[in-house]
Amino acid sequence: MMPESIWPSAPAAVFPPPPVGGGDEDWLAWAATSPGSTALHIVPTRLDLDGVRLYVDESATPLNPNGAVHGGIVAAICDQAISLAIMRRMPGGRAIVTGTLNLEYLRPALPRLEVTAWVDRVARSLVFARAEIRSAGALTTLATGTFVPVEIPLWAPDDVDRGVGG
């Protein structure tokens, strides 16, 4: 019998573990099925060691009266994009949590949103990263964030044996 997780309050993994050691196409497929990506209608088109590119054609919530995506959804899209870019560079068994996320809203973010995110710097205990959102080629949003690598067994081998995340 398998012991329960040492993190009893941690939610069970709901999608497969990241494809550590896999190629860019494996990572792209993994990112596309991430719960954050699907909930936000994110479609990744590139995910490699240089960062991520993705688009959003449809808002996860009704548009604002001016036709723009709500600022909170824009923030969530930036957080997800940056997280995907960072996870592509994390060693196996590590995940990240958001420490800070700062956004500059330059103009309304009208769908189709084109998002690019990348890692600026990896320090000993923090990762610094950025994202940009464009709409019809115009820059709408700039995001910067600080993320904390953590060793949480979100995709522990015993989870796969129990049918969780695999």
Q: What is the pLDDT of residues 111-138, one digit of tens each?
A: 999 999 999 999 989 999 999 999 999 9
The angle formed by the CA atoms of residues 101, 41 and 70, to the nearest 5 degrees, is 55
Look at residue 14 and tell me if it is in a domain. Answer: no
Does residue 153 register a pLDDT over 80? no
Look at residue 86 and tell me if it is in a domain. Answer: yes
CATH, residue 40 = 3.10.129.10
Pull the structure tokens for residue 68.
């723009």
Look at residue 79 and tell me if it is in a domain. Answer: yes
Look at residue 6 and tell me if it is in a domain. Answer: no
How far, in Å, CA of 166 to CA of 160, rounded? Answer: 5
Q: Categorize the per-residue pLDDT at 154 as very low, low, confident or very high, splitting at 50, 70 and 90.
A: low
Stated as kind and residue range, the H or E segment containing 12 is: none
Q: Which residues neighbour 60 within 8 Å (Cβ) at sequence distance 6 or greater?
A: 39, 40, 41, 73, 76
Q: How many CB atoms lie within 10 A of CB 74?
A: 25
- Ramachandran angles phi, psi of 126, nearest 5°: -140, 155
Look at residue 54 and tell me if it is in a domain. Answer: yes
Does residue 41 register a pLDDT over 50? yes
- The pLDDT value recorded for residue 84 is 96
Look at residue 90 and tell me if it is in a domain. Answer: yes
Look at residue 41 and tell me if it is in a domain. Answer: yes
The model's pTM is 0.84
How many domains is the chain partitioned into structurally?
1
- Ramachandran angles phi, psi of 97, nearest 5°: -125, 150
Look at residue 4 and tell me if it is in a domain. Answer: no
Does residue 164 register a pLDDT over 80? no
Q: Categorize the per-residue pLDDT at 18 as very low, low, confident or very high, splitting at 50, 70 and 90.
A: confident
